[in-house]
């Protein structure tokens, strides 16, 4: 308990002034605890009191210092470590039945023969199908478990039940969703987070793409919220010259520290384009900022989130965790890309992206220009770049609102699409697999036509959801592409999903146009 007190007071002491010393603050809180224990009229849940005090005190600091209860701390640790112990599937629960969405390559479920689309009936002879009282944690607690332990699953496939005895193992959590060749020269890598395994995953992807003849690369960091700073530094080894500064950090209690590239990279020549948007944050911004500052490649998309603060995890005695901001980070040119915030008021910070959208800064040219005092010059070509609120892309790509469909939105929000995907795949999976043995065949040849959409129309009519009064060919194309991508995901996995949705990703399409242009006019190097 004393450790918890210490952390609370330590959080306050970061901003302490003449109002009190550390000792007097500590004694004051201890007196408060004693009053509650011996004088309050009722029993007190002290765990709840302590957690509330920690959370509230952190809210008086910056917007990224936060507290994680033990369960959340474990889950986040697994995400950043890059693995967990379990059976190796991702799944969706529909109509109170768990359906396998993806079987993780190399995991025990793949080895034993589980397939996407399999439906869970029993876990260790306990019926789970059709049980509405089960929550997500009920599945997780029974499917996850220590390496070497066994679990028996009864699954439904093609209207037949099969039993699988699966030995749990260490399951990788991949940060690379897909790496593929778009054409004979352009490679593409989609990265979803920065974890301990990210550098090795990227290295392996680059080796394979180089073997396939890659000359240019599109690195997709859209919606990548970041992760481990060190993973971003090692990732930049692949693109920047040795001993190039990637980022530096400094804080009140931590001396300034430079992070530089070291080893010889696998893609230091060739056109490099990094895709970002308003949800690209933290380590994504470190990567994009370093590549931009060194004039190594082009940043395409929309202004990034704007997180320039470094958090250090502190474990507490009950395995909960405080992630305390200990330093600020700066790009190689000295840009501080943290967007403004008010201490003690997180509400405005949380709505900043919404405010940006309402101001039209995501759907038209981002007109926010930081003051000249935040301007820096890139290190090779001396181009102007700015700090003070995210990484501003070299080439801006707005969101095209004309592609939105209210009809499609209602289908999604009311769960009609989810129902359609599950029922369509149930009825057509075998046929689709026979027609398109590989996901690349499906991507190239499967067409969402009236026959495919007919069951969806019946469901929409039943829910009294009418199609838009104004026919929009582009919006219809987007809807059909998303439907195709989700059908493909349930049958072939996440790689199929991304390969399909790239067809309607304006940021990616703009990057493909740019990669075919003369890079010299952008004053970035690619030799």
Question: Tens of pLDDT along 442-455?
Answer: 999 999 999 999 99
DSSP string, 423-491: HHHHHHHHHHHHH-SSHHHHHHH----HHHHHHHHHHHHHTT-PPPSS--HHHHHHHHHHHHHHHHHHH
pLDDT-derived band at 238, boundaries 50, 70, 90: very high
User: Known catalytic residue: 307?
Assistant: yes
Whether residue 45 is predicted with pLDDT greater than 50 in this model: the reply is yes
In the structure, what pLDDT confidence band is assigned to residue 17 with cuts at 50, 70 and 90?
Answer: very low
Q: How many CA atoms lie within 13 A of 237 on its CB side?
A: 17
pLDDT at 401: 81
pLDDT higher than threshold 80 for residue 291: yes
CB 492 within 8 A of CB 442: yes
**Average pLDDT over all residues of the chain:** 88
Other beta carbons within 10 Å of 517? 11
Partners of residue 181 on adjacent β-strands: 187
pLDDT at 152 over 90: yes
Q: Nearest 5°: phi and psi at 192?
A: -100, -15
Query: How many of the other CB atoms lie within 10 Å of CB of 345?
Result: 12
CA-CA-CA-CA dihedral for 29, 34, 37, 40, to nearest 10: -80
220, 293, 295, 366: the catalytic one is 293
Give mean pLDDT, residues 68-82. 79
Q: Which of 307, 376, 429, 484 is catalytic?
A: 307
Least confident of 27-31, 440-444, 467-471: 467-471
Cα–Cα distance list, 171 to 92, 117, 122, 506 (Å):
18, 20, 22, 34
293 catalytic? Reply is: yes
Residue among 65, 109, 175, 282 flagged as catalytic: 282
* pLDDT tens, residue by residue, 374-399: 899 999 999 999 888 899 999 999 98
Q: How confident is the model at residue 11 (pLDDT cuts 50, 70, 90)?
A: very low
Confidence of residue 469 (pLDDT cuts 50, 70, 90): low
pTM score above 0.95: no
Q: What is the mean pLDDT of residues 41-52?
A: 89
Biggest CA–CA distance in the chain, Å, is: 76
Rounded to whole angstroms, how far apart are CA atoms 395 and 275? 10
pLDDT of residue 2: 45
Confidence (pLDDT) at 15: 46
Decide if 252 contacts 223 (C-beta within 8 A): no
pLDDT at 5: 47
Residue 223 confidence (pLDDT) above 60? yes
The pLDDT value recorded for residue 65 is 93
Residue 7: the pLDDT is: 45
How many other CB atoms sit within 10 Å of the CB of residue 357? 13
Lowest pLDDT segment from 154-168, 215-229, 244-258: 154-168
Task: Give the residue-averaged pLDDT of 61-88.
Answer: 83
CA–CA separation, 369 and 372 (whole Å): 9
The closest of 173, 176, 211, 213 to 191, measured between CA atoms, is: 176
pLDDT of residue 367: 64
What is the Cα–Cα distance from 299 to 109, expressed in whole angstroms? 39
Identify the pLDDT of residue 442.
97
What residues contact 234, with CB distance under 8 A and at least 6 apart? Answer: 198, 199
Q: Which CATH number fits domain 176-399: 3.90.226.10, 3.30.360.10, 3.10.310.30, 3.90.950.20?
A: 3.90.226.10
Q: pLDDT grade, residue 286 (50/70/90)?
A: very high
95 is catalytic: no
**Terminal alpha carbon distance of the chain:** 58
Topology of the domain covering 83-172? Pdz3 Domain (2.30.42)
**φ, ψ for residue 331 (rounded to 5)?**
-75, 170
Of residues 103 and 283, which shows the higher confidence score? 283
Confidence (pLDDT) at 136: 67
């Amino acid at each position: 308990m004393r450790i918890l007190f210490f952390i609370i007071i330590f959080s306050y002491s970061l901003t302490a002034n003449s109002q009190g010393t550390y000792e007097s603050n500590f004694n004051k809180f201890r007196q408060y605890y004693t009053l509650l224990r011996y004088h309050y009229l009722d029993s007190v849940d002290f765990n709840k009191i302590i957690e509330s005090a920690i959370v509230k005190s952190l809210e008086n600091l910056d917007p990224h210092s936060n507290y994680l209860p033990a369960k959340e701390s474990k889950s986040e640790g697994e995400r950043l470590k890059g693995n967990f112990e379990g059976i190796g599937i991702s799944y969706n629960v529909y109509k109170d039945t768990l359906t396998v969405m993806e079987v993780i390559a190399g995991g025990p479920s793949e080895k034993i023969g589980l397939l996407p689309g399999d439906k869970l009936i029993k876990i260790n002879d306990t019926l789970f199908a059709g049980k509405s009282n089960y929550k997500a944690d009920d599945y997780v607690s029974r499917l996850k478990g220590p390496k070497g332990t066994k679990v028996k699953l009864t699954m439904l496939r093609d209207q037949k039940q099969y039993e699988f005895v699966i030995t749990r193992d260490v399951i990788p959590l991949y940060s690379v969703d897909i790496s593929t060749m778009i054409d004979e020269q352009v490679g593409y890598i989609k990265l979803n987070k920065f974890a301990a395994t990210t550098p090795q995953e990227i290295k392996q992807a680059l080796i394979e793409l180089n073997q396939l003849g890659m000359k240019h690369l599109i690195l997709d960091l859209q919606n990548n919220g970041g992760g481990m700073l060190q993973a971003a530094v090692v990732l930049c080894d692949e693109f920047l010259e040795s001993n190039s500064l990637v980022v530096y950090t400094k804080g009140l209690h931590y001396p300034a520290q430079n992070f530089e590239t070291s080893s010889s990279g696998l893609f230091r020549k060739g056109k490099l384009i990094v895709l970002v948007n308003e949800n690209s944050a933290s380590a994504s911004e470190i990567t994009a900022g370093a590549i931009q500052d060194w004039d190594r490649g082009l940043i395409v998309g929309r202004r990034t989130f704007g997180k320039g603060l470094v958090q250090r995890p502190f474990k507490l005695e009950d395995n909960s965790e405080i992630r305390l901001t200990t330093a600020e980070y700066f790009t190689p040119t000295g840009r501080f890309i943290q967007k403004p915030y008010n201490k003690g008021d997180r509400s405005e910070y949380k709505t900043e992206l919404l405010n940006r959208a309402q101001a039209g800064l995501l759907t038209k040219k981002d007109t926010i220009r930081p003051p000249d005092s935040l301007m820096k010059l890139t290190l090779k070509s001396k181009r102007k770049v700015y700090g003070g609120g995210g990484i501003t892309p070299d080439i801006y790509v707005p969101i095209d609102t004309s592609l939105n469909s209210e009809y499609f939105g209602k289908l999604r929000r009311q769960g009609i699409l989810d129902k359609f995907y599950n029922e369509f795949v149930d009825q057509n999976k075998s046929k689709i697999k026979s027609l398109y043995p590989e996901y690349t065949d499906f991507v190239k040849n499967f067409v969402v036509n009236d026959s495919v959409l007919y069951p969806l129309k019946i469901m929409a009519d039943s829910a009294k959801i009418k199609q838009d009064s104004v026919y929009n060919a582009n919006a219809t194309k987007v809807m059909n592409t998303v439907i195709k991508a989700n059908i493909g995901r349930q049958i072939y996995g996440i790689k199929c999903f991304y390969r399909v949705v790239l067809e309607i990703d304006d940021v990616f399409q703009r990057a493909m146009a740019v990669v075919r242009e003369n890079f010299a006019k952008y004053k970035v190097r690619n030799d």
